[in-house]
Chain A
């Protein structure tokens, strides 16, 4: 079963290399091949996840390995949808490495599960599932935000070089950033609420404060500020993009802490 995950990682790797090459060379065929590789890798990983779940009897969020490959999976899912929808050609060079690194990181850990938590915890499962889905959306917010910041710099400083040519318009990047937030923020909010309910049921307190939950709350806070700013204060452009990037960095940090603490 592991070999299937390795195969998926390899396909992702090929796709990533092609996307990075495409960014440099802008050859149409490279782009098409890259998308095919990622789609294939995604298909292979989907089958692997389904098969694994049917064997273990639980969703893929029981150990570091499962965490990482599942996070990669949602990242690629978000990427494939976003690429088709927004037609941002350099998006692959920004989002695919995130997914690939997660796969690679996951493969470093043993896939053996040791159910340290009660498997049938409805609220916890809900929290986990939603948090994963939100991660996919936020990886789009991050990638689009980063690209926005780069392109905005080029336009403000009047650098008409490679980045200016390769990256799409600010308007599309701002759109992608906004759409990612529109999906991600409600999902993570419900997910966080589920975690609180679960915590209340299990430990009798609403929140067990530790480094991991604190940083997760910080990330939620950043996205909350971003969502509020966008909706109520009419934020857009650079500020929104920068917050999206910061938020994702906090998410990654909290994730690492979370995995480390387990």
Chain B
């Protein structure tokens, strides 16, 4: 079965080329129709276009011609120099194509390995193609399978378990300390993009109250309204710290905003309930030795980065496990495909019929013991002729149909009718 993938991604093509080739979601149907009319050797196709990759998955009548047509389609439609495309494009055929799709769906081929969006994008691309009847039994099965492979990879490996962004690393650490973040209070000191991002993650994880403190009170109020929180006066920091479990600080102050003696007073007043300080500021806002106080945990921007690095390494390790899963699944898919090949099916069908014929002949001839050798020969020939003539039309039709879009359906039906898979 001639499966091919042709495409380019963030590793093979510069963004200038990717953006030229990328196909907006609402234009995908139009492209599929165009491909159907312009590429006679392409039988089934799915177009996947994301910001990191443009790929066409297809079943073709002839691999070389099919690939040529797909390339021409990409160049013609987007007015790209074929040489430029040639440099960045990759093609995978047969089992490599299957493996590639499984990797893409499982997010092993992504820029950030394990990121969850890609699966949704592949599902969307498949759905669009399916609605236009651009896919048949083969690609349908291939894509459905790739979704279950992705799910398997996700549940059986820890590939997507850990945070790989600095702001999310803060959430991961908070959960290692507090477990459940609901009913927790966070204090934001200062302002900035990072602090907002971290706060947004924390709120999404259930943090109940957000307090905002800033040298300029108006700014604090503005940020507080974003999170349904309350602005607090900068001079009241000591009082407010007492009720805060998580403190994120990012001020431009040249000195420490939270000193060790303040932190140890606050922690005692809180009855030793743990406090988690995230210091994004440079120069730092939280005196580093606060980390030495029992139940106080201080992380600066470098610490958060090292969490991310450790997690990236962990993902790479899990990716190897995932590849083993994928290898197994590819083999399984190929076995399924083999079943759909025409030639072996025809042989199996003939064998089935012939074995029935032989058994019956034997039974009959045993009862007709008076027959001469010549008579026996005649009966033998007659039964063979009946069998061949009966099977002739189905076999010819099957060979013809196998070339069409519904070929695999006919093949499967035939196998079912004659119990060839038993």
Contact = CB atoms under 8 A, between A and B. Distances in A.
A160 B310 contact: yes
A73 to B, nearest CB: 31
Given A165-B314, A170-B274, A238 B177 contact: no
A89 interface: no
Contacts of A160: 306-307, 310-311
B294 A237 contact: yes
Given A26-B158, A169-B179, A236-B272, 11 more contacts: A28-B155, A28-B156, A156-B291, A160-B310, A169-B175, A170-B177, A170-B178, A170-B274, A171-B178, A235-B272, A236-B295
A151 B297 CA distance: 12
Interface in A202-254: 234-239
Contacts of B310: 160-161
A155 B274 CA distance: 12
Which of A156, A160, A170, A236 has most chain B Cβ within 10 Å?
A: A160
12 contacts: A28-B156, A156-B291, A156-B297, A165-B158, A169-B175, A169-B178, A171-B177, A172-B179, A234-B271, A237-B272, A238-B295, A239-B294
B179 A158 contact: no
Contacts of A236: 272-273, 295
A168 B175 CA distance: 9
Contacts of B274: 170-171, 237
B303 A151 contact: no
Contacts of A171: 177-180, 274
Interface in B125-171: 155-156, 158, 162
Sorted nearest first, the 10 A-B pairs with minimum C-beta distance are A160-B310, A169-B179, A234-B271, A171-B179, A237-B295, A236-B272, A169-B176, A171-B178, A234-B272, A172-B179
Contact of A238 (B156, B271, B273, B294): B294
Interface in B173-208: 173, 175-180
A26 to B, nearest CB: 7
Interface residues of B, number: 26
A152 to B, nearest CB: 9
B323 to A, nearest CB: 17
A245 to B, nearest CB: 16
B176 A155 contact: yes
Which of B271, B274, B314 has most chain A Cβ within 10 Å?
A: B274
Interface of B: 155-156, 158, 162, 173, 175-180, 271-274, 291, 294-295, 297, 299, 303, 306-307, 310-311, 314
Nearest to A237: B295
A155 B295 contact: no
A155 B273 CA distance: 16
Contacts of B294: 237-239
A10 interface: no
Contacts of B177: 155, 169-171
Nearest to B303: A158
Which of B155, B176, B291, B297 has most chain A Cβ within 10 Å?
A: B176
Which of A158, A165, A172 has most chain B Cβ within 10 Å?
A: A158
Nearest to A161: B310
A238 B293 CA distance: 11
A235 B294 CA distance: 10
A88 B271 CA distance: 25
Interface string A158-192: 10110011001111100000000000000000000
B324 to A, nearest CB: 13
Contacts of B311: 160
B217 to A, nearest CB: 34
Nearest to B276: A155
Contacts of A151: 176
Contact of B179 (A164, A168, A234, A238): A168
Contacts of B180: 171
Nearest to A240: B272
A26 B314 CA distance: 13
Contacts of B175: 169
Contacts of A164: 176
Contacts of A169: 175-179
Contacts of B173: 155
Nearest to A158: B303
Nearest to B176: A169
Nearest to A239: B294
Contacts of A161: 310
A235 B272 CA distance: 7
A151 B295 CA distance: 12
A41 to B, nearest CB: 27
A4 to B, nearest CB: 37
Contacts of B299: 158
Contacts of A239: 294
Given A26-B158, A155-B297, A165-B314, A170 B176 contact: yes
